[in-house]
Amino acid sequence: MKSIISITIILLLAMPVFAQDKAFGIHAIPDSTFALMQGKSWKKGCSISRYDLRYLTLLHIDENGETHQGELICHKDIANDLLEIFHELYKHRYPIHSIKLIDEYEGSDEASMRSNNTSCFNYRRTSRGGISKHSKGMAVDINPLWNPCVRITATKDTIVEPANAKKYVKRQQANSNTAKSKMISHHDLCHKLFTNHGFKWGGSWRSMKDYQHFEK
């Protein structure tokens, strides 16, 4: 408990002035939240230390213009970056559908993406047995329904994640101007903020297009 209190005090001194309130904040992971993560985002064999992760609280505006309290778990090395980015997105009323812990979806990426939920930390192994950037809390998926991950297989089949996001695959042919405004591109505010903070965008990858994904 003493170590958690010490971390919180240090974070309060280090974080930007705007973040020193309930709406935008960086915290040690509360015990109640860590308990919720067990067996979900925090899976058996997790090699990341709890004390290398941070619990972020923030505000966001949804596509209907309503304000919501959001929460993220991320690595401590990008906590200030994310707080500054999401504060700017909020200030410019950039639409984000929801920002909930992936634990509310039982740690399921597909379920979180289908619900268009923005998330960060989720411990899992890659198909090659490595540890993903999400496993380290070093990657964020923004509005994943509007910005799907698209892969072309060796047999030329198209795999879309989440599966209900197929209408957003052709970026220049979204159903409406409203839909287009929610889709990340090189000219988008979200892209600008993340890349200015040193993140790489999955929409620029050659082997696949992960339009929702920013990593560091």
110-164 tens-digit pLDDT: 999 999 999 999 998 776 678 899 999 999 999 999 999 999 888 888 999 999 9
Nearest to 54 by CA among 85, 84, 33: 33
Q: Which tens digit of pLDDT belongs to each residue from 46-74?
A: 999 999 999 999 999 999 999 999 999 99
Nearest to 74 by CA among 62, 61, 58: 58
Angle between helices 79-91 and 189-196 (to 10 degrees): 150
With contact defined as beta carbons under 8 Å apart, do 86 and 197 qualify?
Answer: no
Take residue 161 and report the two structure tokens written for it: 């994640």
Q: Write down the pLDDT at residue 9.
A: 47
CA dihedral 94, 213, 49, 15 (to 10 degrees): -30
C-alpha to C-alpha distance for 102 and 197, rounded to whole angstroms: 24
Q: Is the pLDDT assigned to residue 15 strictly greater than 80?
A: no
With contact defined as beta carbons under 8 Å apart, do 138 and 216 qualify?
Answer: yes
Q: Write down the pLDDT at residue 7.
A: 52
Which residue ranges make up each domain of the chain? Answer: 2-215
Q: Is the pLDDT assigned to residue 80 strictly greater than 90?
A: yes
Whose tokens are 């965008």? That residue is: 201
- The length of the chain is 216
With contact defined as beta carbons under 8 Å apart, do 12 and 71 qualify?
Answer: no
C-alpha to C-alpha distance for 84 and 101, rounded to whole angstroms: 19
Bridge partners for 57 per DSSP:
25, 71
Fill in the amino acid letter for 128.
R
In this structure, the number of other CB atoms found within 10 A of the CB of residue 29 comes to 20
Take residue 191 and report the two structure tokens written for it: 């892209």
C-alpha to C-alpha distance for 201 and 208, rounded to whole angstroms: 11
Give the pTM: 0.86
Q: Write down the pLDDT at residue 17.
A: 44
